Amino acid sequence: MQSNHDNGGRGPDDPSLKITLLQHELDEAQLENVRLRQSLLEPPYSQLRSVIRQYPHVSKTAIKALNVVTGTGRINFHRRALGRLQFPRDLRDMQGSGLFDTEWYRANYGDVAQSGMDPLRHYALIGAARGLDPGPRFSTDFYLEHNPDVSRGTNALLHYLRHGRARGSKIAPSTVERQWLTLTLDERFPNLRPLHVYASASAPKRISMVTDSINSGSLFGGVGTALIFATLLARRMERPLRIITRSEPPTPANCRTVLEANGIPWQGDVDFVFSSRDTSSGRLVDVADGDLFVTTSWWTTWATRASVDPANIIYLVQEDERRFYPEGDDSIRCAEILEDPRITCVVNSKPLFDYLFEGQDSHARAPSWFEPAFPAFLTPRGESASSKRNFIFYARPKNLRNLYYRGIEAISGAIECGHLDPAVWDFFFIGRDLQPVALPGGVRPTLIENLGWHEYQQLLRRMDLGLSLMASPHSSYPPLDLAAAGAAVVTNTFGPEKQSLDQYSPNIICSDPGVAGLIAGIGQGVALALDAKRRGANHRSSKFLTDWSAVFAPICDQLAGALSATQG
C-alpha cells in the first residue's frame, strides 16, 4: 500500500474533507432555518394584518416592530411580505375561482388544522409549493405534467388562473383520494421513499452508490464491499464517484479508511451527498443521462428504481434479504426486486448466487458473482494481552438471522460441559445493541461495540476461537474475517448450500444449528484452537483471496462492455 505522500492522499484532518462534510451539514441547517422562519413569522403577520388594513399609516411602525420580534433586521424581506398582506390579490383570485375548496382542503390535509392557519393562506404559503391540490376539481400533478414549462414549487392554481386558462390548458380532478393509499404506504415503508432526483444536462456521467450510512458502525461487511466495488467500477469506467446516503449525513474520512485498509489507494475523487429519506426536503440529486447507480440493499434498490431507469441500477446482493422478515409485505417486495429483469445483480459468493439464481432465467441479463477478498489474511497475528485464550461471539440480539439466543445457549452448554473452561478462556461479545450477560461459571463477557475498521481487525488477530451464526446460505463476513485473521471458527450449516466452508479455510467448522450440534462444534473448535501447529498449518493452506482489484476486475470489464454496447 502506498503512503499518503506517495498517492497524494489526504489525512482525516485534511481541511477539504472537513469542508465537504460541513457543507452537507450547512445545507440541512439552512433548510431547517427556512422552516423555523416560516413558523415564527406567520403568527406576527397574521396579527398585524388586520391592524395594517385598518390603519395603513402605521405600516412603517409595524415593520420595525416585526424586525424587533424576529430579530432578523431584514426590512426589505418584511416589507415585501407585508405588501403581500396589504394587497392579497392572489388570495382573492384563488378564492373567487371556484377551484379552491376550504372544507375539502382542510379535510384532506391533516397538517392544515394542526398549523392553525386559514386553509386558503396555508395553500398560498405552504401547500402550493408542496404540490397539494386546492380542491376536488384541480389536480396539481396533472397540471404540471401537461405544462412542462411550469416548474415544481410554482403555485399551479394561480398559474392556471393567470396564464393557463387563457392559452387553453386543461385541468383534471384531484387524485387526493388515491393519495391516501400513497401516504399509507409511505408511512409503512419509509425506506422505500423514492430518491429525490432531477435531470441535469450539464452534469458528468457518474457512478453513484446509494446506501443508508457510511458511519463507522455501518462499514463492516457489505457496505465496505460496496464502497470498494463502486470505487473500482468508477475508476475502470473513468467516471466520478458519488456516495449518496439516506439515513444520516456521510462521514467522508470513513471512505478513505475502508479503501486504504483494503489496499485501494485513496485519490480524493469522491463526492458525498446526503439525500434524506425522512423528509420531503431531502437534498435533490442531479442525474445525467446514462448515470449508473450501485445499490446496497433491496430497499435502496427500490427507492432508486422509483426515480431512475432500472437498467442503470447495479444491485450488489450480499444476502438473501427476504429472510430478514417473516412472510409478508416486506419479503414480497424484496422478492420483486430480485425478480426484476431490468436490474443487474452482482452477488457476493458462489453459494449465495446458486441459492438465489441457479436455474432461473428471469433476468434478461445474467447475474454475476464474486468471492470476497481479505487483505488482512496477509497481516501477522497480534499477541494476546493475557495468558488466557480468547473466545469471541458475534452477537447481534436484534438481528434475528444471527441466532443470538441460540448462540448463548450453545456457549452456556459448552461452559457447563467443560469445553470452554473459564480458567482457560476470556470471553468477548462483539456486535451491537448488547446488554450485560451472565453465563455459567460466573462468566461476564466483555462487550465490544462501535469499533473502527482498524481496531476491529486488530481485535480479531488476538482471538483464538470464535462463534458466529447466520441463518442464511451466505457465510456472512465474521466467520471469514476470523479465519483470515488466524482464529478457529464455529458457524452453522444451512441447507445444501452451506454444509462446509472448506473452500475458504479448514479452520472453519460448520455444525448443525441445534444446541447439541453447536456445543459439539465448539468442542471441536476448542481442540483446534489449542493445537497451535494444526491451526497454523490450516491457516497457511487457506484459500482466501487478498486483492480486491483482481476480484472485481472481470465484473467491471463486463459492466463497462455491456454499457458500451447499449449506448453505442
Q: Tens digit of pLDDT for each residue in 1-33?
A: 333 334 344 444 556 555 655 665 565 565 555
pLDDT the model gives residue 382: 65
CB 459 within 8 A of CB 451: yes
Q: Across residues 284-301, what is the average pLDDT?
A: 95
Backbone φ, ψ for residue 295 (5° rounding) = -110, 150
Q: Across residues 194-203, what is the average pLDDT?
A: 91
The letter for the amino acid at 504 is Y
Give me the torsion for CA of 395, 260, 231, 248, rounded to 10°. 50
CA distance linking residue 150 with residue 322, whole number of Å:
42
Residue 273 has pLDDT above 60, yes or no: yes
pLDDT: which is higher, 437 or 80 = 437
Three-state SS at 346: strand
pLDDT: which is higher, 145 or 520 = 520
Three-state SS at 431: strand
Residues 491-543 pLDDT 10s: 999 999 899 999 999 999 999 999 999 999 999 999 999 999 999 999 999 99
Q: What is the C-alpha end-to-end distance of the chain, expressed in Å?
A: 37
CA distance linking residue 156 with residue 290, whole number of Å:
31
Angle of helix 75-86 relative to helix 15-54, nearest 10 degrees, comes to 40
Three-state SS at 345: strand
CB 484 within 8 A of CB 542: yes
In angstroms, the Cα distances linking 208 to 282, 308, 530 are 17, 12, 47
CB 382 within 8 A of CB 455: no
The whole-angstrom distance between residue 417's C-alpha and the CA centroid of its chain comes to 43
In angstroms, the Cα distances linking 434 to 108, 213, 345, 396, 405 are 44, 21, 34, 7, 12
CA distance linking residue 568 with residue 558, whole number of Å:
15
Q: What percent of the chain is modeled with pLDDT above 70?
A: 80
DSSP structural state of residue 147 = -
pLDDT the model gives residue 227: 96
CA distance linking residue 406 with residue 512, whole number of Å:
12
Considering the chain, what is the average pLDDT of its residues?
85
- CATH for the stretch 189-370: 3.40.50.11090
94 burial (CB, 10 Å; 0-12 / 13-18 / 19+) is: buried
Question: Using alpha carbons only, how large is the chain's radius of gyration in Å?
Answer: 29
Give me the torsion for CA of 240, 243, 244, 245, rounded to 10°. -170
CA distance linking residue 223 with residue 294, whole number of Å:
11
Residues 402-430 pLDDT 10s: 999 999 999 999 999 999 999 999 999 99
pLDDT the model gives residue 7: 38
Residue 207 has pLDDT above 80, yes or no: yes
- CATH for the stretch 376-540: 3.40.50.2000
CATH 3.40.50.2000 boundaries in the chain: 376-540
Q: Which strands, in side-by-side order, build the sheet including 465-467?
A: 446-449, 425-431, 389-395, 465-467, 488-492, 508-511
CB 376 within 8 A of CB 481: yes
CA distance linking residue 55 with residue 282, whole number of Å:
42
Long-range contact pairs involving 350-356 (C-beta distance under 8 Å, separation at least 24): 351/473, 351/474, 351/475, 351/497, 351/498, 352/317, 352/318, 352/319, 352/320, 352/472, 352/473, 352/474, 352/497, 354/473, 354/497, 355/320, 355/473, 355/474, 355/495, 355/497, 356/317, 356/320
Residue 315 has pLDDT above 50, yes or no: yes
Residue ranges in 375-504 assigned as alpha helix (H): 404-416, 453-460, 477-484
DSSP letters of 33-96? HHHHHHHHHHHHHHHHHHHHHH-GGGHHHHHHHHHHHH----HHHHHHHHHHHH--HHHHHHHH
pLDDT-based confidence at residue 475 (cuts at 50, 70, 90): very high
Residues 338-356 pLDDT 10s: 999 999 999 999 999 989 9
CA distance linking residue 239 with residue 207, whole number of Å:
6
Indicate left, alpha or beta for 359 from its phi (over 0: left) and psi (-120 to 50: alpha). left
pLDDT the model gives residue 108: 87
Give me the torsion for CA of 163, 164, 165, 171, rounded to 10°. -150
CATH 3.40.50.11090 boundaries in the chain: 189-370
pLDDT the model gives residue 280: 56
Q: What percent of the chain is modeled with pLDDT above 90?
A: 61
Residues 89-117 pLDDT 10s: 889 899 999 999 999 999 888 888 888 88
CA angle (537, 373, 509) in 5-degree steps: 45
The letter for the amino acid at 448 is I
pLDDT-based confidence at residue 231 (cuts at 50, 70, 90): very high
Query: What grid cell was written down for 562?
Result: 455491456
CA distance linking residue 426 with residue 529, whole number of Å:
13
Question: Which of 244-260 are b and which e, b meaning 16 or more Cβ less than 10 Å from the residue's Cβ?
Answer: bbbeebbbbbbbbbbbb
pLDDT: which is higher, 25 or 237 = 237
CB 123 within 8 A of CB 94: yes
Query: What grid cell was written down for 99?
Result: 377551484
pLDDT-based confidence at residue 37 (cuts at 50, 70, 90): low
pLDDT the model gives residue 367: 81
Top mean-pLDDT range of 34-48, 175-189, 202-216, 521-535? 521-535
pTM here is 0.70
Q: Across residues 190-208, what is the average pLDDT?
A: 93
